[in-house]
């Protein structure tokens, strides 16, 4: 299994920082089993908690709406299959079925959407020990932007673009795991609900 | 409730807004008993700080009585607390190193993008200080929601006057950290630019840390008088050349450590200042950094530069050559308030540190807009405005 953190040539920077996007997608695909799109997103965050605890929380997909702001719900169907309902721009939702295609408990899991997905996507979440600093969690995500480039632009305007979401979701995961809650500046519950529509 | 809200440059008003509520388990709500206008609030008032929105509630120096607690708050209703202006979680890597203003988790995830783009990594959240620092409602209000209340706020023993402890929220620890960052050794001469509250507390702290001489620099006679009361020698930069004076006063050596507590709105008619100001007003935007330029120039070879002053953006004509050639060390940053609270509260209770001398004006909260104008227009006489909700003074 190729590691999305390493490169085949050149330097030691992660693939997701590559300036050569198609080569990066090709290389990442080796580690993702199946490609489901051509936009590559990668984010790493260091979380001051043990690896096993982080893995267990993240791998229980029913927990994901607790820190992923644009996920409405995930219905877990069995050990590998789940159904995702995700918020899209302009109050719409998109849905897909997803299957875990590879997994080593406590280390990483890889998923791919089933045919017929509103947004085809695949990805890998990896958990590595970081000594006294806890655990490095790396998300690598391949997706097919809805409506191609125009769809990506529209999503960006509404801030539901996967690249932006992935970064913010990982920050929220870190906050939840380290502090037991997700930081918000809302002063009232009404304002909090408004912010999370 | 009633709260002081920002609506634009030189436009702050008392608004009626919804009372804050518990949102997260570690929250508490406090009823504000005293709050102050900070010199850095004037940066907001003057429109120097980006990412402000109309209706933002200001104030990051405040204290009050706990009136409501979330399930995981360790505070109890009725306790009197002072709240640090930096919002820190207490459990991340940086909090573990006591670098609380660098807390990873104090800033809501969506607000981290701006600071990450501007600075490379986002910092902690701050109360009442623009959306780049979280967009948290501030303490110039009747009530405030305080996140991480089991970690940040310090409980004040009963019977202690608010005015003695209010400044633990920001300016006292900031002045103390500034002196600590100057790494003072016995026999040292320390020069302090700016005799605002932070500068004056830095003067006091420097003496407590063993400085032999402290030289205070400002152009407001009243503020220089206050510095003199703590034993500082003074330079009025309108009457004297600061560099020449410092060199003569230190026998041609220069001060061992220099502290810039002025920041991005440095006053004074100097060529570099005027150029900085023109650029700012024409959106070629740079901070006005006259004081730190002068401090670096005057500092002795191998000396230390401590910079509690607030800067936000980019600078021009930073004397990097002098800085390098003289082998100076710079320490700076927002204050790690939580780190200093127990020690400084003890120092206040033991009467080693006095903070009340600073308060020149006391107003009811409703008079907050007047307080801003007074502070802005007369910085010689107005050294500190304290607002007391529920009181007409």
CB-nearest to B108 from A164, A178, A184 is A184
What pairs with residue B31 in β-bridges?
Answer: B65, B143
Is residue A4, in this structure, part of any structural domain at all? no
Q: Which residue of A has its CA nearest to B112?
A: A168
Overall average pLDDT of the A113-119 stretch: 90
- The number of distinct structural domains making up chain A is 1
Q: What is the pLDDT of residue A196?
A: 78
Please check whether residue A3 lies inside any domain of the structure. Answer: no
**Model pLDDT for residues A39-66, shown as the tens digit of each residue:** 667 789 999 999 999 999 999 999 999 9
CA distance A79 to chain B (A): 30
A58, A168, A179, B94 from B24: Cα distances, Å: 21, 19, 11, 22
Our separate counts of H helices and E strands in chain B read 13, 18
**Mean pLDDT value of segment A54-80:** 95
What is the pLDDT at residue B88? 98
Q: Which residues in chain A have their CB less than 8 angstroms from residue B23's CB?
A: 184, 186-189, 192
Q: Hey, is the C-beta of B26 within 8 angstroms of any chain A C-beta?
A: yes
- Per-residue pLDDT, averaged over A84-101, amounts to 88
3-state secondary structure string across B263-288: CCECCCCCHHHHHHHHHHHCCCCCCE
pLDDT-wise least confident of A68-77, A116-125, A145-154, B85-94: A145-154
A193–chain B Cβ distance below 8 A for any pair: no
> Under an 8 A CB cutoff, do B26 and A179 touch?
yes
Confirm whether A163 is domain-assigned.
Answer: yes
The pLDDT score that the predictor gives to residue B311 is: 80
The pLDDT score that the predictor gives to residue B283 is: 45
User: pLDDT tens digits, residue range A165-195?
Assistant: 888 999 999 999 999 999 999 999 999 998 8
Q: What domains does chain B contain, in order, with CATH numbers?
A: 2-170+335-388 (3.90.180.10), 174-270+284-332 (3.40.50.720)
Domain span including residue A56: 15-195
A167 and B CB contact within 8 Å:
yes
Other Cβ atoms within 10 Å of A134 Cβ, number: 22
Choose between B15 and A12: higher pLDDT. B15
Whole-number average pLDDT of chain A: 84
List of chain B residues with pLDDT < 70:
264-289, 393
Cβ count near B268 (within 10 Å): 16
Q: Are B26 and A174 an interchain contact pair (Cβ–Cβ within 8 Å)?
A: no
pLDDT value at residue B282: 45
Q: Are B287 and B46 in contact (CB under 8 A)?
A: no
Residue A62 lies in a domain: yes
How far apart CA A34 and CA B82 sit, in angstroms, is: 55
Is position A10 within any domain?
A: no
Nearest-CA neighbor of A113 among A95, A132, A136, A127?
A: A95
Token readout for B187 is 């026999």
What pLDDT is recorded for position B284? 46
Distances (CA, A) of B70 to B31, B155, B239, B320: 15, 17, 56, 49
Cβ atoms B49, B135 nearer than 8 A? no
Q: What pLDDT shows up at residue A6?
A: 47
pLDDT the model gives residue B276: 54
Reported ipTM exceeds the 0.95 cut: no
Asked whether the beta carbons of residue B26 and residue A186 sit closer than 8 angstroms, the reply is no
DSSP character at residue B55 = T
pLDDT at A118: 86
Q: How does strand B143-146 pair with strand B28-37?
A: antiparallel
CATH code (residue A28): 3.30.530.20
On the question of pLDDT at A9 being above 60, the answer is no
Report whether pLDDT(A150) > 70: no
- A185 and B135 within 8 Å at the Cβ level: the answer is yes
Predicted structure pTM score: 0.89
Distances (CA, A) of A27 to A19, A159, B6: 13, 28, 51
* pLDDT bracket for residue A1 (50, 70, 90): very low
Residue A15 in this model has a pLDDT that exceeds 90 = no
């Amino acid at each position: 299994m190729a590691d999305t953190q390493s490169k085949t040539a050149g330097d030691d920077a992660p693939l997701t920082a590559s300036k050569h996007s198609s080569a990066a997608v090709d290389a990442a695909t080796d580690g993702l089993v199946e490609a489901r799109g051509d936009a590559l997103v990668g984010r790493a965050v260091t979380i001051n908690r043990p690896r096993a605890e982080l893995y267990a929380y993240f791998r229980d997909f029913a927990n994901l709406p607790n820190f992923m702001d644009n996920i409405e719900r995930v219905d877990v169907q069995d050990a590998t299959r789940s159904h995702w309902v995700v918020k899209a721009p302009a109050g719409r939702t998109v849905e897909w079925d997803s299957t875990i295609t590879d997994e080593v408990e406590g280390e990483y899991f890889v998923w791919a959407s089933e045919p017929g997905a509103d947004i085809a996507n695949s990805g890998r979440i990896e958990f590595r020990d970081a000594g006294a600093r806890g655990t490095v969690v790396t998300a690598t995500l391949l997706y097919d932007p809805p409506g191609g480039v125009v769809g990506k632009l529209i999503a960006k305007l509404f801030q539901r673009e996967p690249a932006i979401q992935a970064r913010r979701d990982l920050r929220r995961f870190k906050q939840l795991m380290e502090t037991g809650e997700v930081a918000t500046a809302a002063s009232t519950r009404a304002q909090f609900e408004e912010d999370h529509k | 409730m009633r709260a002081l809200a920002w609506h634009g440059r030189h436009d702050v008003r008392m608004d009626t807004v919804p009372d804050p509520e518990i949102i997260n388990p570690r929250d508490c709500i406090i009823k504000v008993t005293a709050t102050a206008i900070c010199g850095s609030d004037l940066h907001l008032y003057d429109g120097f700080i980006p990412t402000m929105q109309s209706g933002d509630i200001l104030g990051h120096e405040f204290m009050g009585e706990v009136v409501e607690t979330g399930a995981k708050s360790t505070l109890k209703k009725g306790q009197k607390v002072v709240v640090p202006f930096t919002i820190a979680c207490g459990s991340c890597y940086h909090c573990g190193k006591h670098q609380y203003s660098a807390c990873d988790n104090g800033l809501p995830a969506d607000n981290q993008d701006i600071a990450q783009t501007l600075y490379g990594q986002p910092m902690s959240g701050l109360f009442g200080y623009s959306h780049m620092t979280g967009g948290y409602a501030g303490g110039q209000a009747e009530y405030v929601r305080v996140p991480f209340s089991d970690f940040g706020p310090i409980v004040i023993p009963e019977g202690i006057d608010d005015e003695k402890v209010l400044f633990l929220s920001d300016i006292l620890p900031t002045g103390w950290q500034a002196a600590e960052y100057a790494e003072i050794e016995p026999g040292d001469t320390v020069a302090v630019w700016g005799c605002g509250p932070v500068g004056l507390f830095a003067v006091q702290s420097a003496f407590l840390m063993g400085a032999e001489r402290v030289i205070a620099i400002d152009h407001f006679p009243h503020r220089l008088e206050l510095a003199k009361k703590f034993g500082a020698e003074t330079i009025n930069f309108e009457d004297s050349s600061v560099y020449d004076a410092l060199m003569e006063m230190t026998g041609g050596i220069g001060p061992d450590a220099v502290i810039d507590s002025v920041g991005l709105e440095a006053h004074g008619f100097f060529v570099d200042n005027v150029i900085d100001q023109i650029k700012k007003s024409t959106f070629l935007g740079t901070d006005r950094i006259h004081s730190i330029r002068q401090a670096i120039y005057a500092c002795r070879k191998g000396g230390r530069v401590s910079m509690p002053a607030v800067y936000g953006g980019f600078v021009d004509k930073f004397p990097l050559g002098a800085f390098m050639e003289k082998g100076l060390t710079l320490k700076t940053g927002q204050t790690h308030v939580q780190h200093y609270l127990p020690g400084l509260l003890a120092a206040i209770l033991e009467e080693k540190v006095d903070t009340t001398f600073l308060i020149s004006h006391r107003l009811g909260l409703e008079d907050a807009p007047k307080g801003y104008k007074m502070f802005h227009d007369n910085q010689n006489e107005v050294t500190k405005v304290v607002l007391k909700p529920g009181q007409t003074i």
